[in-house]
Amino acid sequence: MLQYYAHLRQSSQYINLPTAEIPKPGDELAPISPELARWIRLRAQDLKLRQSDRQWAVDLVNHLRESLLVFLKNSDEQPYFQSASVLSSGSYYEMVKILNPNEFDMMLKLQSPSRLKMTELDQYHGLFYEVALSRSTRSHIRSFLLDDGLTISASKIINEMHRLVRKFISTYRVPGNSWRWVVNRKRPNSPAVTLSLLEVDNGKQELLSVDVVPALEVPSSQGWPLAARAGPDVDNWLGKKTRRSLTHQTCFFVPKKPPGRNLSEAAKESWRISFSHIEKELIKTHGNKRTCCETSATKCCRKQCFKLLKCLIEGLKQRYPQELDALCSYHGKTAFLHTLSIRAQDSLWTPRQLPACFMHLLRALEGHASSGLLPHFFVPTSNLFAPPTFPRKALVFLIQALEEQRRQGLPLLMPPAPAPPLAVHSHSDSQPQLSPVVQQTPVIQYPVILPPQVVEMKSFEQMFKIVALVMVLVYVCYLL
């Protein structure tokens, strides 16, 4: 870690140096216009989930989860998955999901019968591993081993997971029978089996999606791999004691190949290390003092800043889908965690300072992009902005896009316009006027998931179908 930051310090473009983090009151507030600050506050308010949407989504997702667990437990043909349990992860369960509760993540914990031999794949700096049992076993995991009887096959696990979920879904019925889950086509580099919730009759629009990711749990007797021992750098932020309690927890491996073609034999069966459960805990216990966010007097704006950054990243990805294909929410999360660990004091994150804090976070991401250095928070030797994962071209584009956003008053952060018909009606009172700068800029259309009954009433597609049907009928009558 130390030598890592020494490296970063040499880069003059890298603005977010630890040494530059001595708080200077007022320093950050200066460049933000009151109008932009107002906008940022309003947008942060807007991003939170509505309880009515949550209620509907959570019932469906929880029912799905419980039913899947029961199915796996009773699935005699695949005993290895019988003991699996769920660890909810991802932004919904970190309480940083924005706009709509429409994406859920669950890790399906799979236990390892013995200690694991974790071999770093060359060239990937501790993010991707070959994972093998340290001794042969009679456990049910043995149907997922390669010919050597030790190495655990990532592709066998993900394929079986996919098969099991498909089998489960073939008999599963959503309570109420108005919707159905479909299993998405397997994506070659994804560790997840993705389920989409569709309406039964008008099955085009995805209402919810759930990612199920098998996750191999490293036995707790075994520490983290060497590359992860250097991170996470939270001593100044959360204290040495908390760091110890974090690093004593287990870590996981998810079946994911490194990017690119012509992979070596080992890389084809490789696993990526995962700290989703620790990330969740970090975001939950984000305060420098234990009292952070306990009362209204000690509230902070850290999560709000992160939500705003997520919103901007999603906006950028929608505006420039090809150019920023490599960009993902994990880049935002990583930049956020680094910023929290450097800018540790609770007093720097009071709700009053929300606009300034968000701009600081945005500058931090810009800094990481400019320097081309975004170390994985737990595996600092792995740079998330390094090619081939993040091509040079995309990085240059990102730097320009971020700078442009900041100069133009964050047009992509602002609510989409024109808003969908219903949203205009229900929000017209609270919707702020667009600033001139924003109006000039092409504004993206966010996918808006409306509650099901609203979709039924308002589905243009359905109306379109009806109109088409009527036209066909008229034509038939004319022929007769």
Residue 383 gets which letter from DSSP? B
What are phi and psi for residue 375, nearest 5 degrees?
-65, 135
Which of 74, 296, 428, 433 is close enough to bind DNA by CB under 7 A?
A: 296
CA–CA separation, 180 and 197 (whole Å) = 6
CA–CA separation, 116 and 124 (whole Å) = 19
Q: Considering the rule CB under 7 A, would residue 48 count as an interface residue with DNA? A: yes
**CA max distance for the chain:** 84
DSSP secondary structure string for all residues of 118-154: EEEPTTTTTSEEEEEESS---SGGGGGB-TTSSBBPH
Instruction: With contacts defined by CB under 7 A, name the span among 3-11, 46-54, 258-266, 455-463 that binds DNA.
Output: 46-54
Q: Considering the rule CB under 7 A, would residue 245 count as an interface residue with DNA? A: no
Q: Considering the rule CB under 7 A, would residue 173 count as an interface residue with DNA? A: no
Instruction: With contacts defined by CB under 7 A, name the span among 59-67, 342-350, 413-421, 428-436 that binds DNA.
Output: 59-67
Instruction: With contacts defined by CB under 7 A, name the span among 148-156, 226-234, 288-296, 314-322 that binds DNA.
Output: 288-296
Pairing of strands 208-217, 193-199: antiparallel
Which of 27, 122, 294, 403 is close enough to bind DNA by CB under 7 A?
A: 294
The 3-state DSSP composition of the chain as helix, strand, coil percent (nearest 5) reads 45, 10, 40
Half-sphere exposure of 166 (CA within 13 A, CB side): 9
Which of 50, 135, 173, 187 is close enough to bind DNA by CB under 7 A?
A: 50
Q: Considering the rule CB under 7 A, would residue 240 count as an interface residue with DNA? A: no
Q: Considering the rule CB under 7 A, would residue 463 count as an interface residue with DNA? A: no
CA–CA separation, 364 and 13 (whole Å) = 11
The H or E element that residue 282 is part of is: helix 276-284
52/433 with CB nearer DNA: 52
Task: Pull the structure tokens for residue 423.
Answer: 């949203």
The mark string for 261-280 relative to DNA (x by CB under 7 A, - otherwise) is -------------------x
Q: How far is the CB of 84 from DNA (least distance, A)?
A: 13
10/296 with CB nearer DNA: 296
93/129 with CB nearer DNA: 93
CA–CA separation, 327 and 348 (whole Å) = 28
69/327 with CB nearer DNA: 69
Q: Considering the rule CB under 7 A, would residue 248 count as an interface residue with DNA? A: no
Question: Taking phi first (over 0 means left), then psi (-120 to 50 degrees means alpha), and beta for anything else, what does residue 26 get?
Answer: left
The mark string for 83-122 relative to DNA (x by CB under 7 A, - otherwise) is -----x---xx-x---------------------------
Q: Considering the rule CB under 7 A, would residue 289 count as an interface residue with DNA? A: no
Which amino acid is present at 170?
A: S
Task: Pull the structure tokens for residue 175.
Answer: 């309570």
Instruction: With contacts defined by CB under 7 A, name the span among 213-221, 225-233, 255-263, 289-297 that binds DNA.
Output: 289-297
Give the interface with DNA as residue ranges (CB under 7 A).
48-52, 54-55, 58-59, 61-62, 88, 92-93, 95, 280, 284, 293-294, 296, 303
